[in-house]
Structure 1
Amino acid sequence: MTFKPAPPDSGITFIRDDLPGRPGVECRPEYARADHRWTSLDKEGVRIEHTEHILAAAAGLGIDNLLIHADGPYLPVVTGFSSGGFVQALLEAEPVFQDRPREYFYVPEARWVMGSFDYGGERYDSILLALPSKEFKLTYLMDYPGKQISTQAYSFAVGGDEDFALGPAAARSYIIDYEYARVADLIGRGMEDCLVFPGAATDLRWNNEPARHKLLDLLGDMAILGRAVKGHFIGIRTGHKMNIQMCKELAKLMKGDIPS
């Protein structure tokens, strides 16, 4: 995989170097899919899978325009399905500063998507809320009463005081022990570095590492909007499917299809 600067205002595009004509897949909500436990982009049958962690790295570092050359549909996996390795690679590539002001989409008023899901034999509600803000901030809350992961929360402002590389970027993915075999068979790589609960509760980098990773996923999925954003996004028990729903709702708002 290779990173290259892209022209101003062009956004982030994945290039499939292994296919004839080297087709590109742009980060746009209409191409996004929530597949199992990850996010994919699919444009006319040209797919890129596991996009959330590399896009989170770009978003967290404030990179707007980027060409990502890949030699297949599956992006590389870094330790624990975090974004740490991608952040390091992007920083080593020395990002180019472009002589063009960044254009933001400002969330004009409260918007939300809601849903529900089954987890460990229980039914839970979830909500993703977008609020107006002068910064790009994300907050994530995990709350599964009586389950193997404690109630926890985490907030992060992109471009704020906390270092992205030392904060959410290094948070590892997690799984519950009884799900491990099924998911490992599905993914087939990289699972050895994931946090497996309940045993992982004593091996955390932070006591809220799972919430940090879910926020990382949210950050990466929001990058699919293809535009720098100012707003506060609050997720409660949300995942890739609802993150993509929010992107699609905001995309309609940007186009004027939904009255603000």
Structure 2
Amino acid sequence: MPACPCPGNLAHILLLNSRLRRTWGVKFFYPRQHTVTREVWCGGVGLHTGADVTIRLKPAPPDFGIRFQRTDLTGKPVITAHYRQVVDTFQATTIGIAGAVVGTVEHLMAAFYGCGVDNVLVEVDGPEIPILDGSAAPYTGLIRKAGVREQDAVRRCLIVDRPMVVKEDGAYIRVTPSDHFRIDCAIDFPHPLVGKQRYSWSFCENSFKREIAKARTFGFLKDVRKLQTMGRAQGGSLANAIVLDECGLLNREGFRYADECVRHKLLDFMGDLALIGMPVVGAFHVHRAGHSLHSRFLKQLMTRPGTCSLAQPSCIPTGVFPASRLPAFAGQISSVAKPI
């Protein structure tokens, strides 16, 4: 697996870069793209469709991005994992093109983001990604099994230049410029075991696996019954979701974290944010948001003039610092970024 991309201070790095350019030679360190080393697969039930589905993760070339291929459909259509391809956000994120869809992509996308995977082909033989245990942990394990290898291509990065906020019915998502990637997430549910929860997290690969990936999706029994009458949540069970009744928790094993619900909401946001197609440097404040607001936010983030810019790799001489100490998502950025 790639080294832990621990956050760093961009201002200090940029100042150092300007000095190093005048002092050192032409051999530089650049952040590289990554793909899986070998093909792996897993199978399970879709949370909403109840369909038995198998997915395969396959290595992909540089600048390929994350793409999903529906191998069960005529022509085997390929759907790029991109915010412009989102076609439905009811209870999950669904992407699609020309009638072909893949649902509940957010947990797998969060795992790719958290493990530093830029390029992979995901073959899927059904309309939805398996829910597995309801978290991203099985997918981080699958990626670990596949291995991750560096590619001979520079990783691009998106820089937040100006604050922006998107609101909807008491919920909001706000982003501000920062020297690294961090998320502050808050929820508020009228339930004695949930209530108001807040969790703040700064990106690090190891902390993603330890603090975020294991958080499971959750729902309330009264809502689950309604969803099932609507043809949704057909594959839901206590094996793949936290279910709460009016005053308690139905899962015998209890919570994995005391604040597992808000951690899962953070995971969902991270998975939807991955649909930008590259790492982001900015501070996100997510308050009572869901997939619909996530989608609206991404579209505005990427289209509002002056909000973001595309960073170019900086010139840090090889050997000045160990690669493990350079923040892969935030540290290798030039002082001049091109507007998107």
Q: Same fold (TM over 0.5)?
A: yes
Q: CA deviation at 1:233?
A: 1.2
Map of 2:242 onto structure 1: 195
Q: After alignment, is 135-144 or 23-32 more displaced?
A: 135-144
CA RMSD for the aligned pairs? 1.8
Q: Distance in 2 between matches of 1:188 and 1:177?
A: 14
Q: Distance in 1 between matches of 2:298 and 2:75?
A: 29
Map of 1:131 onto structure 2: 176
**Is this contact kept in 1: 2:172–2:286, CA < 8 A?**
yes
**Is this contact kept in 2: 1:33–1:244, CA < 8 A?**
no
Stretches of 4+ aligned residues off by more than 4 angstroms: none
For residues 134-181 of structure 1, the C-alpha deviation after alignment (integer angstroms, 9 at most, x for no partner) is 21211211124x544221111222226x52222111101111232121
What is the correspondence of 1:3-22 to structure 2 with a 5 Å cutoff? 3-22=57-76
For residues 104-129 of structure 1, the C-alpha deviation after alignment (integer angstroms, 9 at most, x for no partner) is 0101111111001xxxxxxxx00001
Q: 3-state SS of the aligned residue for 2:122? A: strand
What is the correspondence of 1:11-160 to structure 2 with a 5 Å cutoff? 11-79=65-133, 81-116=134-169, 125-144=170-189, 146-148=190-192, 149-159=194-204
Q: CA deviation at 1:184?
A: 4.3
Q: CA deviation at 1:36?
A: 2.1
Q: Distance in 2 between matches of 1:6 and 1:73?
A: 22
Paired amino acid for 1:135: H
Map of 1:119 onto structure 2: none
Q: Distance in 2 between matches of 1:139 and 1:61?
A: 20
Q: 3-state SS of the aligned residue for 2:151? A: coil
**Is this contact kept in 2: 1:3–1:67, CA < 8 A?**
yes
Map of 1:180 onto structure 2: 224
Map of 2:42 onto structure 1: none
Q: Distance in 1 between matches of 2:68 and 2:202?
A: 26
Q: Distance in 2 between matches of 1:103 and 1:21?
A: 31
Which of the pair is proportionally richer in helix? 1
Q: After alignment, is 192-201 or 97-106 more displaced?
A: 192-201
Residue ranges of structure 1 left out of the alignment (5+ in a row): 117-124
Q: CA deviation at 1:183?
A: 2.8
Paired amino acid for 2:234: G
**Is this contact kept in 2: 1:29–1:251, CA < 8 A?**
no
**Is this contact kept in 2: 1:106–1:230, CA < 8 A?**
yes
Residue ranges of structure 2 left out of the alignment (5+ in a row): 1-54, 308-340
For residues 79-109 of structure 1, the C-alpha deviation after alignment (integer angstroms, 9 at most, x for no partner) is 1x11111111111001121122211010111
For residues 180-233 of structure 1, the C-alpha deviation after alignment (integer angstroms, 9 at most, x for no partner) is 212345121132232222312992111110000000000000011112211111
**Is this contact kept in 2: 1:64–1:228, CA < 8 A?**
no
Paired amino acid for 2:275: I
**Is this contact kept in 2: 1:78–1:190, CA < 8 A?**
no
Q: CA deviation at 1:35?
A: 3.3
Paired amino acid for 1:203: G
The TM-score normalised by the length of structure 2 is 0.68
Q: After alignment, is 178-187 or 226-235 more displaced?
A: 178-187
Map of 1:120 onto structure 2: none
Q: 3-state SS of the aligned residue for 2:162? A: coil
Map of 2:267 onto structure 1: 216
The 1:30/1:4 distance shift into structure 2, 3 A limit, reads same
Return the match for 2:213 from 150, 166, 169: 169
**Is this contact kept in 1: 2:224–2:233, CA < 8 A?**
no
2:297 is equivalent to residue 252 of structure 1: no
Q: After alignment, is 177-186 or 64-73 more displaced?
A: 177-186
Q: After alignment, is 70-79 or 211-220 more displaced?
A: 70-79
Q: CA deviation at 1:46?
A: 1.3
**Is this contact kept in 1: 2:178–2:281, CA < 8 A?**
yes
Q: Distance in 1 between matches of 2:88 and 2:302?
A: 17
Q: Distance in 1 between matches of 2:266 and 2:88?
A: 16
- % identical equivalent positions: 29
